[in-house]
A and B are shown apart, each in its own frame.
Chain A
């Protein structure tokens, strides 16, 4: 318990570090939000300066940071220049949408990856190995963005799937069954794209660590004792291979908010990705910092989760602590 408390404290320090460094980065990137107005023939340079000082952009960096910290304590997470509202309210809805997409996809990917990777590692058949190697290599080789674009193309060419959004315009007027159908219809493409994007890395790691374990002497001897292959695979090999996988799982959880950026942008998912990209390009710094902090929180949670699981799963680590 003390250990978890210590980890949480670490997490808090990490958040602080991230926020300080992110602030510093925003300073390095040239230009600020109000620069865009300098190209607008209707707006004078004086007005731009007035707006900058109104939002405190003419203050020194540390002063801006302290002001922002104050607003975090009030639960607002700063003010968006573009949206004229608090960052907290802006991010919350979109983060929920992103988590819906990535949560589903990550869950699905793991459900597929563990049995598939284990099975491929255990299989002696050449064609299984060839198919597995080829399939994962191919999937790995297709960049997210191309995958998303190909899905987009599929949607257009076939007309089977809607493009963009989470539900139809008429969603509220549907009955319960209609709603479910509509949701499945809208979720199908982005979730599949996202699953395919995360799957190969997971499968490869499962495969790699399982292969290693399967070659180790204790399993060879276990096999010699005549333990049935399935029991051997899942009861004996998988727990031993679990350590790197648990770290990977923590990483999976940690990247729930950030992994889907390109897919969200291409498939018009109303998540955090499009907002973050736009805010980075527009120098809406508080939104960027808010989004970064949100994904850092998830990262910390993911790591903590991984360590707790490792602690529970591996007696050796337990003894150590």
Chain B
């Protein structure tokens, strides 16, 4: 029971996060690509409850306007703009099914509700964060599933049968680990048609990375299988005439579960992060589509790193997501 409750501690936040991300259009106040050209790198809008005279109001914000230096912003204190729920905003299709224009949060004109500030184009960072999670989380899943699936199959084959099968698969793994895959990715991107959408392009690249990444899990799984098949009860089962598929399924593969879970816990974040590297090389999700990787990639710009702390928000979210994933993996 205790164990199950501990798993819930990881499952509930993950489910909530996936829900938020799936319904991003509703939870996000704005569309992820809407630019406010007068508000590049605006800090998060402060939410107020008391007006200038100290009277209590429903939550409201002030409009941000460029300050005297032209490099920062100040609040225009003359007009409080109330925050409202279930407001009409930009139209969208929820889950691709229902057409609506209601958003959870909104604010009266002319202010903008920028709870996590804006990026260099004046786009709302919170809306981008919610939309971006969709691609990033899915990409991590997809690539890790591909790597582990192939890795498990080939690794256990190699470990269980040994001999030439082992030799071929392990040499193959070495070859795969040694090759400069960057070239393949560069080539792959260059050969895709220009007109397919940024998300499709990216998912294709991610599948490629996932497929390529089988070698490492395969080697670890092989190591486990190698020692598992020497265990006494496996030898005993063999002695009783158990077939290969029975041995593998009943005795050997369950032994690998530990490694598989550890690997999954390591690989999902790793592949989410692979996207950061891809963004670094210009192979990430293309503008204007957001992803946690390309949002985090902004931090490579020195001025962003040093001057705009709210641009760290994707990093923070990532860290939280990873910790939850790791927790889940350890408790499974």
| Interface residue? A10 (CB, 8 A) | yes
Given the complex of chains A and B, what is the CA–CA distance between A299 and B183 in angstroms?
19
Q: Give the residues in chain A near B296, CB-CB below 8 Å.
A: 143, 146
Given the complex of chains A and B, what is the CA–CA distance between A156 and B306 in angstroms?
10
B183 adjacent to A146 (CB under 8 Å): no
1/0 per position for B187-205, CB-CB distance to A under 8 A? 1001100000000000000
**What's the least CB distance linking B257 to chain A, in Å?**
11
Given the complex of chains A and B, what is the CA–CA distance between A140 and B177 in angstroms?
21
A153 adjacent to B220 (CB under 8 Å): no
| Interface residue? A71 (CB, 8 A) | no
Given the complex of chains A and B, what is the CA–CA distance between A29 and B181 in angstroms?
11
Question: Considering the complex, which residues of chain A in the window 11-56 have a beta carbon less than 8 Å from any beta carbon of chain B?
Answer: 13-14, 17-18, 21-22, 25-26, 28-30
Q: Give the residues in chain A near B174, CB-CB below 8 Å.
A: 14, 299-300, 303
Q: Give the residues in chain A near B299, CB-CB below 8 Å.
A: 146, 149
Assuming the contacts A280-B182, A299-B178, asked whether A247 and B223 have C-beta atoms less than 8 A apart, the reply is: yes
B220 adjacent to A244 (CB under 8 Å): yes
Residue of A nearest to B224 (CB): A244
B326 adjacent to A22 (CB under 8 Å): no
Q: Give the residues in chain B near A25, CB-CB below 8 Å.
A: 179-180, 183-184, 187
Residue of B nearest to A142 (CB): B319
Given the complex of chains A and B, what is the CA–CA distance between A14 and B174 in angstroms?
8
| Interface residue? B266 (CB, 8 A) | yes
Given the complex of chains A and B, what is the CA–CA distance between A205 and B277 in angstroms?
24
Q: Give the residues in chain A near B190, CB-CB below 8 Å.
A: 29-30
A133 adjacent to B273 (CB under 8 Å): no
Contact of A30 among B187, B219, B326 (CB under 8 A): B187
Assuming the contacts A26-B183, A29-B187, A141-B323, asked whether A21 and B280 have C-beta atoms less than 8 A apart, the reply is: no
Assuming the contacts A10-B171, A141-B322, A212-B258, asked whether A262 and B180 have C-beta atoms less than 8 A apart, the reply is: no
| Interface residue? B330 (CB, 8 A) | yes
Given the complex of chains A and B, what is the CA–CA distance between A133 and B325 in angstroms?
12
1/0 per position for B159-176, CB-CB distance to A under 8 A? 000000001000100110
| Interface residue? A99 (CB, 8 A) | no
Question: Considering the complex, which residues of chain A in the window 120-140 have a beta carbon less than 8 Å from any beta carbon of chain B?
Answer: 133-134, 136-138, 140
| Interface residue? B300 (CB, 8 A) | yes
| Interface residue? A260 (CB, 8 A) | no
Given the complex of chains A and B, what is the CA–CA distance between A317 and B226 in angstroms?
9
| Interface residue? B305 (CB, 8 A) | yes
Q: Give the residues in chain B near A134, CB-CB below 8 Å.
A: 323
Q: Give the residues in chain B near A30, CB-CB below 8 Å.
A: 187, 190-191
1/0 per position for B270-288, CB-CB distance to A under 8 A? 0001001100100000000
A18 adjacent to B175 (CB under 8 Å): yes
Residue of B nearest to A240 (CB): B227
A145 adjacent to B277 (CB under 8 Å): yes
Assuming the contacts A137-B322, A244-B259, asked whether A295 and B178 have C-beta atoms less than 8 A apart, the reply is: yes
Q: Give the residues in chain B near A305, CB-CB below 8 Å.
A: none
A201 adjacent to B266 (CB under 8 Å): yes
Q: Give the residues in chain B near A295, CB-CB below 8 Å.
A: 178
| Interface residue? A208 (CB, 8 A) | yes
A244 adjacent to B180 (CB under 8 Å): no
Given the complex of chains A and B, what is the CA–CA distance between A30 and B323 in angstroms?
40
A292 adjacent to B269 (CB under 8 Å): no
Assuming the contacts A25-B187, A201-B266, asked whether A153 and B306 have C-beta atoms less than 8 A apart, the reply is: yes
| Interface residue? A204 (CB, 8 A) | yes
Given the complex of chains A and B, what is the CA–CA distance between A1 and B277 in angstroms?
42
A247 adjacent to B273 (CB under 8 Å): no
Given the complex of chains A and B, what is the CA–CA distance between A212 and B260 in angstroms?
14
Given the complex of chains A and B, what is the CA–CA distance between A251 and B223 in angstroms?
13
Q: Give the residues in chain A near B216, CB-CB below 8 Å.
A: 251
Given the complex of chains A and B, what is the CA–CA distance between A300 and B177 in angstroms?
11
B277 adjacent to A17 (CB under 8 Å): no
B305 adjacent to A138 (CB under 8 Å): no
Q: Give the residues in chain B near A194, CB-CB below 8 Å.
A: none
A14 adjacent to B171 (CB under 8 Å): yes
Given the complex of chains A and B, what is the CA–CA distance between A43 and B224 in angstroms?
59
1/0 per position for A195-231, CB-CB distance to B under 8 A? 0000001001100100010000000000000000000
Interchain Cβ contacts under 8 Å between A and B, 25 examples: A14-B178, A26-B183, A28-B183, A28-B191, A29-B190, A137-B323, A140-B326, A141-B319, A141-B322, A145-B276, A146-B296, A146-B299, A146-B315, A153-B305, A153-B306, A204-B262, A208-B262, A212-B258, A280-B183, A296-B178, A299-B174, A299-B177, A303-B174, A314-B227, A317-B226
**3 nearest A-B residue pairs (beta carbon):** A28-B187, A141-B322, A25-B183
Please give the residue numbers on chain B whose beta carbons come within 8 Å of chain A beta carbons, in ascending order. Answer: 167, 171, 174-175, 177-180, 182-184, 186-187, 190-191, 216, 219-220, 223-224, 226-227, 230, 258-259, 262, 266, 269, 273, 276-277, 280, 296, 299-300, 305-306, 315, 318-319, 322-323, 326-327, 330
- A143-B296, A146-B299 known, 13 other contacts, Cβ within 8 Å: A28-B183, A141-B323, A142-B319, A143-B277, A145-B300, A146-B276, A201-B266, A204-B262, A208-B258, A247-B220, A251-B216, A262-B277, A299-B178
